[in-house]
Structure 1
Amino acid sequence: MDRGNKHGARIDDRMSDEVRGEVQGVPGGRAEEWHMAEPAGEDQPQPTERLDVDENEEFSRLGRYIGLSALPGDRDKLRRSAQDLLAPDDILADLDRLPAGTEFRTVVEIWQALGR
């Protein structure tokens, strides 16, 4: 038993237009306000400092040799992970400079402990 459509043709066309961008990937399909990303809330931290290009590359390079399975981890665990990922000697030397007995949860904490 076919019950038909609950809407008229005009309403169907309008509803179809509203979702066209999502269904077909039409440019500008996310122009509606409710699709826009919201700004950070009042309880969210604000960025305080940006790394320059060279620092950013060095930070990224260090992070490449810290396996996710090594975090959280201490100096020895981080060094083993870096060795498994074939880290160059300068990265291994940096990890050897970390304080013993301290557990690091993120690469940012490692970066800060290295005084960068």
Structure 2
Amino acid sequence: MERGSSKHAARVDDRMSDEVRGEVQGIPGGRAEEWRTTEPPGEDQPGTTEVLDDAESERFSRFGRYVGLSALPGDRDALRRSAQDLQAPDDILDDLDRLPEGQTFQNLAEVWRALAE
């Protein structure tokens, strides 16, 4: 007795497996149908083209450990309070003090960009 799908013929099974091969095997651009391609970010959404080098990625990660996500969205004072609650070192607190006053940050990436300016 041969094991296989009892719902479809072998030809249909082969076609169906070809349709998802790119997703299953992780082949870049391997989506079988156009409607499965990802859409670009909207006008109000951040792009994903920014890539940090290893050193900057490590600094961003360290910075993010001391800013609680519950403080976001938040302004400079809310972020600083959160960092103090998480016992952030002085250099992190100094960075937060450099943020512009009165600006509300939606996520850590916005905070990081503001510090880079």
How high is the TM-score relative to the length of structure 1? Answer: 0.61
> Take 1:80 and 1:73, find their aligned partners in 2: how far apart are those partners?
10
- The answer to which structure, 1 or 2, has the higher relative contact order (CA under 8 A, 6+ apart) is 1
Q: Which residue of 1 aligns with 2:114?
A: 113
> Take 2:90 and 2:74, find their aligned partners in 1: how far apart are those partners?
20
**1:19-56 per-position Cα deviation (integer Å, ceiling 9, x unaligned):** xxxxxxxxx8xxxx79xx85445869452x31100011
Q: Secondary structure at the match of 1:54?
A: helix
Q: Which residue of 2 aligns with 1:96?
A: 97
Q: State whether structure 2 residue 82 is matched by structure 1 residue 81.
A: yes
1:9-88 equivalent positions in 2, closer than 5 A: 38-40=37-39, 45=47, 47=49, 49-88=50-89
Percent sequence identity is: 55
Structure 1, unmatched stretches of 5+, are 1-8, 12-27
Report the CA distance shift for 1:66/1:38 in structure 2 as closer, same or farther (over 3 A).
same
Q: Which runs of 4+ in 1 moved over 6 A?
A: none
1:53 alignment partner AA: D
Report the CA distance shift for 1:82/1:39 in structure 2 as closer, same or farther (over 3 A).
same
Shift of 1:62: 1.1
Q: Which residue of 1 aligns with 2:28?
A: none
Shift of 1:77: 0.7
Q: Give the greater-gyration-radius structure (CA).
A: 1
2:94 alignment partner AA: A
> Take 1:82 and 1:69, find their aligned partners in 2: how far apart are those partners?
11
How high is the TM-score relative to the length of structure 2? Answer: 0.61
Q: Which residue of 1 aligns with 2:20?
A: none
2:106 alignment partner AA: R
> Take 1:92 and 1:72, find their aligned partners in 2: how far apart are those partners?
18
